[in-house]
């Protein structure tokens, strides 16, 4: 099950973060990322899944963190996620069963329906939860991405060996 997933699209705000937008005294946007999610990214890479981060906002903090995580693709400022993902899949010859999506809100709903696996944090909107293959018991920004990736890879019987390879 889900063994054909080669790409995993991940939303940022409300999924990798708690959804809050913070500004410092100089007007710089700040975000709080959960360090637990990093294991999900590292294990995904280990099993050959490419991480595609797709977010509607553009923020230097997002660029910095996801560069550290060595994500394969980072697309910011994408307001029409459905159209963008349709084009991305066509340009890269990606089939529905080869791509999964982790997101939390209405702007993720339509593109999620293009994919073969949908995961979402516990505090996602009801519409997203209704189409999710897996609803994490963890809220966005508190390790939900790691939990969802862990679930996906456990379904593929790849989680245990991958974490042993990474951390032994």
Distance between start and end Cα atoms, the chain: 27
Q: Using the predicted structure, report yes or no on whether residue 1 has a pLDDT greater than 80.
A: no
Q: What is the mean pLDDT of residues 93-108?
A: 98
Q: What is the DSSP letter of 102?
A: E
Structure token pair of residue 21: 């937008």
Alpha carbon separation from 87 to 41, 54, 94, 111 (Å, rounded) = 24, 13, 10, 11
Q: Using the predicted structure, report yes or no on whether residue 168 has a pLDDT greater than 90.
A: no
Q: In the prediction, which pLDDT does 80 show?
A: 96
Average pLDDT, the chain: 95
Which residues are within 8 A (CB) of 165 and not within 5 positions of it... i.e. 6 or more apart?
46
105 confidence band (pLDDT: 50, 70, 90): very high
51-61: b (≥16 Cβ within 10 Å) or e: bbbbbbeebeb
Instruction: List helix spans (H) across the chain.
Output: 37-46, 60-68, 81-91, 106-112, 126-131, 144-155, 159-167
Q: Using the predicted structure, report yes or no on whether residue 72 has a pLDDT greater than 90.
A: yes
166 confidence band (pLDDT: 50, 70, 90): confident
Q: In the prediction, which pLDDT does 52 show?
A: 98
- List pLDDT tens digits, range 9-26: 999 999 999 999 999 999
86 confidence band (pLDDT: 50, 70, 90): very high
Q: Using the predicted structure, report yes or no on whether residue 73 has a pLDDT greater than 80.
A: yes
Q: Using the predicted structure, report yes or no on whether residue 167 has a pLDDT greater than 90.
A: no
């Amino acid at each position: 099950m889900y063994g054909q997933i080669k790409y995993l699209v991940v939303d940022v705000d409300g999924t990798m973060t708690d959804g809050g937008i913070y500004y410092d005294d100089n007007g710089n946007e700040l975000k709080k990322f959960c360090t637990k999610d990093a294991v999900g990214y590292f294990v995904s890479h280990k099993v050959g899944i490419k991480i595609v981060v797709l977010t509607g906002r553009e923020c230097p903090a997002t660029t910095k963190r996801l560069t550290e995580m060595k994500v394969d693709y980072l697309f910011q400022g994408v307001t029409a996620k459905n159209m963008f993902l349709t084009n991305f899949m066509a340009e890269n010859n990606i089939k529905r069963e080869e791509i999964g999506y982790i997101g939390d809100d209405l702007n993720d709903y339509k593109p999620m329906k293009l994919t073969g696996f949908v995961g979402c944090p516990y505090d996602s909107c009801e519409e997203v939860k209704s189409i999710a293959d897996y609803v994490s018991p963890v809220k966005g920004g508190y390790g939900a991405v790691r939990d969802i990736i862990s679930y996906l890879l456990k379904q593929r019987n790849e989680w245990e060996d991958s974490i042993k390879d990474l951390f032994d």
